[in-house]
A and B are shown apart, each in its own frame.
Chain A
Amino acid sequence: MFTRRQMTLATAAGLAMPAVVRAQTWPSRPVTMVVPWAAGGGADTVTRIFASGFEKELGQPVNVVNRTGGNGVVGHAAIATARPDGYTLGTGTSEFVNFKPLGQSTIGPDSFDLLSRIASIPAGVTVKADGPWKDFAAFVAGVKAAPKGELTGSGVSTGGSWHLAAAGMTRTLGLGVDHIRWVPSQGGAPALQDMVAGGISLFTGSPVEAKALVDAGQVKVIGVMANARMDMYPDAPTLKEAGVDWVFENWFSLVAPPRLPAAVRTRILEAAGKAHQSAGVRDLMRARGIVPIWETPESFKAFAASYAQTASSLLGELGLVRG
């Protein structure tokens, strides 16, 4: 227990200490991780698993705070404008790359200190179990034969990540980006429900979200847009295997407000990297169909730039770019 006198001394010392010295003592209090999406969703699950390992490395609690709203704009803005002292970090999701092209916010990759991707969840091709296509090859033939706009896809709001997954897939097939008519939805679960109810032809969201309905025999996953097959669906080929050179993953990353003190930044990268390597974090992610990723800030920056290019070209062809 501290006595009051000791506390006063400590506070005085803290105030007197130059920033560099304070940085070396980071973290001396709990760290907050802001998630721009609701509790229980993909980004939230990834963050909570990562935070459980991160707080062990830091020796300080890591509080996960959900700041939702405006398609992620609210939470991402909260991270970007937080004090760059290392006590507020956040989970940046692929959406932040598209805010500017979509005219939703001025926040973009430049608004953050991009540290590393934490994980990714691949897109998939999920269709009704009793639908017309038995496998991915039959699906491709069906899509090519169908006139533009006859088939419908869903999984996220217009211009959201899974919409881009569908648009990129049809573009790779040599068709228009709007060949599959997009029906916006409030997330994976309602989109899957709409598909089973009969209004939607395919779901390009995460196959992990479709697990319950796959088990129920209502839907089937006929392809995944990843580099390797998913453990959860060993029979579903990657699009690459099936001859369609298209990979699309929704990603989650560790980001900080720009201009962190250098010492704090080094410490964060070191602790986060160690936490990410731990079996606890990796196994928990894999068990949920999440692919763990850890990289250097430089390679994340390069990835974000190339993702932004692909995304903005798709959004441009979809006619969704504003401003």
Chain B
Amino acid sequence: MSNLDSLLHGFTVALTFHHVLLMVAGVLLGILVGVLPGLGAPNGVTLLLPLTFSMDPVSAIILLTSTYWGALFGGSTTSILFNIPGEPSSVATTFDGYPMARAGRASEALTFAFMSAGFGALVGVVVITLLSGFVTSFALRFGPPEYFAVYLLAFCSFIAFGSGAPLKTLVSICLGFAFGAIGMDSVSGEMRLTFGLDDLIRGISFLVVVIGLFGIGEMLLTLEEGLEFRSVGGRLNPREVLAAIGRLPRYWLAMLRGSCVGVWMGITPGGPTAASFMSYGIAKRMSRRGSRFGTGEPEGVIAPETADHSAGTAAMLPMLALGIPGSATAAVMLGGLMIWGLNPGPMLFIDRADFVWGMIASMYLGNVVGVILVLATVPLFASMLSIPFTVIGPIIVTVCVVGAWTVASAPFDLWLVVVFGITGWGMKKLDYPIAPLILAMVIGDKAEDAFRQSMIMSQGSLGVLWASPLVATLSTLAVALLLVPVVSSFRARRRRFRPMEEAAPSE
């Protein structure tokens, strides 16, 4: 087990006072970045990148990765407390996290989120440590058809949602696809749906839409309903955190399932956002408590959180070994590596073993540090819920607007936030589900690119989606997931109408 020897060597590199201090600083910065909607992990790491140019590469990567972990943790906090995802990958956490908080179980939801996220991250690092060779070869088998199949699978596993009128869900999905299509089409280079507005050339940022629909929309609803957060949990007992930790092992299956989905999406690399949606969808289907998802079910928090973090961690390996970033944040770090004078690739594992294994060791330590730090902040964050709405409301609106500004420093985005805020309020009043819109927007654009690339490669033949065992398995699974609810509802209906059908032939 030479990997384990290398890892132990890595710990000697990472476990210095200086490096642990950097981890703490990174995690704290990351939490701050993650809590602010709009200012996501990629932005946070980008902002820090210039600071690291004068640092030694090991310290630099420890600071950046720790910031990333912190941001992943922080992103879940506002999802749960205010229904405002701080990170794209924590949108799925709002589905059950926010109902839990409203039911006075905020501390419990936060604890579950943080602990399961930490667990997911550890699974991710363990896989990286033990299976580095296998994992890197796997990532290289992914071309456009495989990507499309993965996105389709993520979509199909989530979309058969059940709740809500099917027609309204369909409208939401179509709106999401349309918003995602705005801007330059990278396949043909043409402008789409820009209506001659220069501000639309760069497209509508997914973050701006999330901030509007969730953040401002939620504020408007609260205003309408009487200026206070309902069912605020007054009990702020650190013991609640410990009690929640004690209950966590009960959900081992959900955690394991989430980690598997996450690791797989991290190395393929489909990215943490797709992973969290996919994990939520799968958990909803497979769990015995699936029907209670969306009403404040702990499993609905655990599933996306484990997947989100394990995908984030696992995405580091293809970046180091092959120069293929598995997430937007990994892409920024890849740029960092180049600037520090390190070339990613298999030679990095040999020439700069101290760097690679120091970084992997710091991923273990950084996540442990992260979990401890965020758990310590749970009572603090949860107490934010007992602040009167007249104080916290304006703060949230300010944070939302600032967050929207940081996405691209464009005044136009601020108007978009307002428009989407009103849209979000309207959608909630009229019972149009928001989640399918977000999913369509996040995955739709990427899926479209992958599909059109595949079609150019195959010269228009759909056979490319069944061309190899890997892609065929993915495509078949996706189609099956899509058809199962249709078939089962059809069967149910047949059963119900059986008496009438039997009556027919006798005429």
Task: Give residues in A with beta carbon < 8 Å to B.
Answer: 38-41, 44-45, 48, 52, 64, 66-71, 73-74, 77, 102-105, 149, 152, 157-160, 181-186, 189-190, 192-194, 196-200, 209, 211-218, 287-288, 320, 322
Q: List 24 A-B contacts (CB under 8 A).
A: A39-B335, A40-B49, A40-B338, A44-B335, A48-B53, A64-B50, A66-B46, A67-B409, A69-B202, A102-B189, A104-B189, A157-B187, A158-B186, A158-B189, A182-B456, A183-B457, A186-B186, A189-B325, A192-B324, A193-B143, A194-B143, A199-B145, A209-B323, A287-B341
Chain A residues positioned under 8 Å from B323 (CB to CB) = 189, 192, 209, 211-213
A69 x B453 contact (CB < 8 A): no
Q: How far is the CA of A64 from the CA of B333 in the complex (A)?
A: 17
B202 x A68 contact (CB < 8 A): yes
Known contacts A68-B202, A74-B201, A197-B143, A48 near B339 by CB under 8 Å: yes
Interface size on B, residues (CB 8 A): 53
Chain B residues positioned under 8 Å from A159 (CB to CB) = 189
Q: Per a CB cutoff under 8 Å, which of B335, B346, B459 touches A40? A: B335
State how many angstroms separate the Cβ of A122 from the closest Cβ of chain B.
17
Q: How far is the CA of A70 from the CA of B333 in the complex (A)?
A: 22
A104 x B334 contact (CB < 8 A): no
In the complex, which residue of chain A has the Cβ closest to the Cβ of B343?
A211
A69 x B183 contact (CB < 8 A): yes
Q: Per a CB cutoff under 8 Å, which of A69, A71, A105, A185 touches B408? A: A69
State how many angstroms separate the Cβ of A50 from the closest Cβ of chain B.
13
Q: Per a CB cutoff under 8 Å, which of A70, A160, A196 touches B140? A: A196
Contacting residues of chain B (301-333) with chain A, CB-CB under 8 angstroms: 321-325, 331-333
Q: How far is the CA of A40 from the CA of B23 in the complex (A)?
A: 22
Known contacts A40-B332, A73-B201, A216-B321, A199 near B143 by CB under 8 Å: yes
State how many angstroms separate the Cβ of A222 from the closest Cβ of chain B.
19
B202 x A74 contact (CB < 8 A): yes
Chain A residues positioned under 8 Å from B245 (CB to CB) = none
B184 x A197 contact (CB < 8 A): no
Contact with A along B341-360 (1 / 0, CB 8 A): 10111111000000000000
Q: 9 closest Cβ contacts across the A-B interface?
A: A40-B335, A69-B202, A212-B345, A197-B143, A212-B323, A70-B201, A215-B345, A199-B143, A215-B347
State how many angstroms separate the Cβ of B150 from the closest Cβ of chain A.
13
A39 x B408 contact (CB < 8 A): no
B345 x A211 contact (CB < 8 A): yes
Tell me whether B405 is interfacial, beta carbon within 8 Å: no
B46 x A39 contact (CB < 8 A): yes
Contact with A along B186-224 (1 / 0, CB 8 A): 111111000000100111000000000000000000000
Q: How far is the CA of A272 from the CA of B190 in the complex (A)?
A: 36
B202 x A215 contact (CB < 8 A): no
A215 x B343 contact (CB < 8 A): yes
Q: How far is the CA of A200 from the CA of B323 in the complex (A)?
A: 18
B186 x A157 contact (CB < 8 A): yes
Contact with A along B376-410 (1 / 0, CB 8 A): 00000000000000000000000000000000110
Known contacts A183-B453, A211-B323, A216 near B50 by CB under 8 Å: no
Additional A-B contact list (5), CB under 8 Å, known A70-B201, A197-B142: A52-B53, A186-B186, A189-B334, A193-B142, A197-B143
A216 x B346 contact (CB < 8 A): yes
Tell me whether B421 is interfacial, beta carbon within 8 Å: no
Chain B residues positioned under 8 Å from A77 (CB to CB) = 198
B203 x A40 contact (CB < 8 A): no
Q: Per a CB cutoff under 8 Å, which of A40, A73, A104, A184 touches B339? A: A40
A213 x B345 contact (CB < 8 A): yes
In the complex, which residue of chain A has the Cβ closest to the Cβ of B203?
A69
Chain B residues positioned under 8 Å from A213 (CB to CB) = 322-323, 345
Chain A residues positioned under 8 Å from B341 (CB to CB) = 287-288
Known contacts A45-B339, A197-B141, A199-B144, A69 near B189 by CB under 8 Å: no
Tell me whether B70 is interfacial, beta carbon within 8 Å: no
B184 x A288 contact (CB < 8 A): no
Q: Per a CB cutoff under 8 Å, which of B322, B453, B454 touches A212? A: B322
Most buried by B among A69, A209, A217, A322: A69
Q: How far is the CA of A215 from the CA of B351 in the complex (A)?
A: 12
State how many angstroms separate the Cβ of A11 from the closest Cβ of chain B.
26
Q: How far is the CA of A117 from the CA of B191 in the complex (A)?
A: 29
In the complex, which residue of chain B has the Cβ closest to the Cβ of A66?
B46
State how many angstroms separate the Cβ of A59 from the closest Cβ of chain B.
19
Tell me whether B146 is interfacial, beta carbon within 8 Å: yes
A212 x B143 contact (CB < 8 A): no
